[in-house]
Structure 1
């Protein structure tokens, strides 16, 4: 075995050791809490929804959810859309670091790769629970790849992006823990490939629904750009929140304030674009569209017909989005870390409201047959969704620790601190 191969094996051992064996009480308490929530979600899916025979039930599977023939996509796919966007926006730190050469962003760019890995893990698990019985997926495998299918393209870009970011994270940790800079011969091809993939995963996700002509509210050329715009608001906002928590709980880890401020510029700019796209769609739907089904679905979304909670979520997005933009340009807010974190939290809540249930559910109410079957997720669906999210956050926590430890070795006490 070559010495380079041995070194990468040592890097993997380093990641495992730092993730599992060197944390303090608060770290292990957080990990244990997430693991308990994740296990409960798995219990709900395996023993209650997926295989009720274990409990002696007479029925089970997706029939225990609120999903039906009229509304086949619910809370699982709704949050699938959100986390695809979060994964895509993980590339923001990498672009700032390696394309524009910002030294301060180079110190934290690896966190964007960690976030992308955790987000894609969440995305893939949400697909698994939405299928109901994962064995059904094996029926499709002999048909892959079918490049005329948007679902196949989505599978290709998601798994490709997961592999890219996992490689990027491991390479970064490998060099930084040895107090070496990342070779340019790796950075250039990595960014060249990863940046289009980042845009592609969310664009293809939008194309899946945009191509369904029977769902007129999705048939907008602004759908994919809107997906990407709001993703580049929520993704960086989550990154800033993760950095803020890392500064508080990892001894000696510090982030320059310029990272917070410059990332806030991206967040505010993306929110402005996302809100503008929403305004444009509202204008088209309520001003001059002549398609009755599209108007009916828009009334469900904006006016709360049949499902009042959808309108509340939509107006929450608009209200909090505008509030985040206004606060983001107020000097007393954007000149402090706490102010920027507050704007980031508002942004996350706003985009969750905009890019989950409000994106998916209106396309099914009324259905293609004109039927109205209101969708309210059941307690089982909510519990399973929370469990999946706990797995994603746990992956984030476990990978962020060794990644940031390697960053500290190179940039805080090693040669990187001198340049």
Structure 2
């Protein structure tokens, strides 16, 4: 048990110290590696993409990406959609832990809040790099909140949910490091506020796309529910991978296999609903839709008419998602942690395929004017995206260590 002051300021100092000080060289190696990759991504974005400002060059800015007048959203927004879903799914563990009082899930709920924080920081950074010159976004600030704008609602729910999860991490560490349970006076308002925000961040993201009537492939009332359904597959899957890594490298930290099994139910449920929505969309598009542009965009999504790799992503989602569901029915697979982790890994790849460019690009190919300007991400876009992801994983790593140590102090009675 920690002997430090129980004040919130003392908890903040505890988090900073435990995040930065370790006697494990592998922790420093991992952190340094992620930091270097993040710095390189930042270098690409600031000094290369902003070359007209920093280097006095005529070549720079978003023109160095493959985005254009027809394809306004590319790799950045594609992964933005994925990580919003990962953040949203964290509330499932909070509900299991605090509403249903499951002691095993209480051990991992703080880590799900850490995951939500890391995912939302990744989300916000992807928005920043997609803006090109984010300083111009300040022009919009005096107009906030504009409740007629879905973008404003997205900003409100994302920043609000980030704040909620930061409070959740701080509170969990604050009480657990003193070997105290979270008080009900905190849990009740926390869950009451967090649950609608969790559903809202991905619902509003779907509403943004649904509202763009010039992109008929998105004009489906199933888009937002599909976003939420597949989020409840990918988010828990990533958390299971994080838990397994923690069990291997944090001495004494062990989670019962039943937690993995019950989390698998959530993952499979999300996959089944998501695949059903995909089937429903395909039936509507290919069975009775008469809108030519929607059919042409669907041909890009499922048949690879203009972008072959988009159809590869679509069928990867369908095949791997179905494979994960089938494998979950096999006792030899779903009865072991490694088997469940294999299903979780398939799920992550499947939902990345489903939520990224498979969703985004068909709406732009062909364009509303019937033009085709194929989009293939440039090395700069890929490098910047990898750098942003490295930053998000670094935040996950730095916050996970003090959080797990506090959990250990309360549930495993270690100092």
**Taking structure 1 as the reference length, what is the TM-score of the superposition?**
0.97
**Cα offset, 1:22, TM superposition:** 2.0
Distance 1:182 1:387, change over 3 A: same
Match of 1:391 in 2: 391
Partner of 2:209: 209
Distance 2:23 2:9 in 1: 21
Rate the CA distance shift 1:292–1:401 in 2: closer, same or farther, 3 A.
same
Instruction: Note if contact 1:104-1:259 (Cα within 8 Å) is conserved in structure 2.
Output: yes
Q: Tell me how far 1:414 sits from its aligned partner.
A: 6.7
Gaps of 5+ in 2: none
- Supply the distance in 1 between the matched residues of 2:19 and 2:346 (Cα, whole angstroms): 30
Q: CA 1:269/1:23 → structure 2, altered by over 3 Å: closer, same or farther?
A: farther
- Which residue pairs with 2:146 in the alignment? 146
Distance 1:251-1:365 versus aligned 2 partners, 3 A rule = same
C-alpha distance in 2 between matches for 1:50 and 1:180: 50
1:51-87 Cα shifts (integer Å, max 9, x gaps)? 3454453221001100100001000000000000000
Counterpart for residue 78 of structure 1: 78
Correspondences of 1:292-311 after superposition (within 5 Å): 292-311=292-311
Question: 1:375 deviation in Å?
Answer: 0.4
1: distance between equivalents of 2:33 and 2:315? 33
Cross-structure match for 1:251 = 251
Map 1:106-125 to 2 at 5 A: 106-125=106-125
Structure 2 counterpart SS, 1:22? coil
Within 1, Cα distance between the matches of 2:255 and 2:76?
35
CA shift digits 1:358-390 (9 cap, x unpaired): 111111111111111100010000000000000
Distance in 2, Cα, partners of 1:413 & 1:292: 64
Tell me the distance in 1 between the aligned counterparts of 2:26 and 2:210: 44
1:183 aligned onto 2:180: no
Q: Distance in 2 between matches of 1:367 and 1:243?
A: 43
Which residue of 2 is the match for residue 12 of structure 1?
12
Spell out, residue by residue over 1:80-131, the C-alpha distance to the aligned partner (whole angstroms, 9 max, x if none).
0000000000111111101111110001100110000000000000000000
Q: Aligned to 1:73, what secondary structure does the other structure show?
A: coil
Work out the CA distance in 2 between the residues paired with 1:83 and 1:5: 36
Give the aligned partner of residue 276 of structure 2.
276
Tell me how far apart the structure 2 counterparts of residues 414 and 111 of structure 1 sit (CA, whole Å). Answer: 18
User: Deviations for 1:326-374, whole angstroms, at most 9, x for unmatched residues?
Assistant: 1111100010000000000000000000000011111111111111110
SS of corresponding position for 1:107: helix
- Unaligned 5+ runs, structure 1: none
Q: Which residue of 1 aligns with 2:57?
A: 57
8 A Cα contact 1:179 1:414, kept in partner: no
Aligned to 1:88: 88
Provide the rounded CA distance (Å) in 1 between the counterparts of 2:55 and 2:258. Answer: 55
Q: What is the RMSD computed on CA atoms of the aligned residues?
A: 1.3
User: Displacement, 1:9?
Assistant: 0.5
What's the CA shift for 1:392?
Answer: 0.3
Give the C-alpha shift of residue 158 in structure 1. Answer: 0.2
Q: Is the 8 A contact 2:6 2:174 kept in 1?
A: no
1:362 corresponds to: 362
C-alpha contact 1:366 1:373 (8 A) present in aligned 2: yes
2:231 matches 1:231? yes
| C-alpha separation in 2, matches of 1:5 and 1:292 | 67
Measure, in 2, the Cα distance between the counterparts of 1:329 and 1:18.
41
Q: Matches of 2:190 and 2:387 in 1, distance apart?
A: 32
Tell me how far apart the structure 1 counterparts of residues 157 and 65 of structure 2 sit (CA, whole Å). 29
Decide whether the 8 Å contact of 1:145 with 1:152 is kept in 2.
yes
Give the Cα separation in 2 of the matches to 1:154 and 1:46.
Answer: 26
Match status 1:286 vs 2:290: no
Q: Could you say which residue in structure 2 is the equivalent of 1:45?
A: 45
Taking the TM superposition and a 5 Å limit, the aligned residue runs for 1:98-137 are 98-137=98-137
Distance 2:252 2:239 in 1: 19
Aligned position for 1:338: 338
Query: Following the alignment from structure 2 to structure 1, what is the Cα–Cα distance between the partners of residues 139 and 373?
Result: 30
2:49 is paired with a residue of what secondary structure? helix
Say whether the 8 Å CA contact 1:161–1:198 is kept in structure 2.
yes
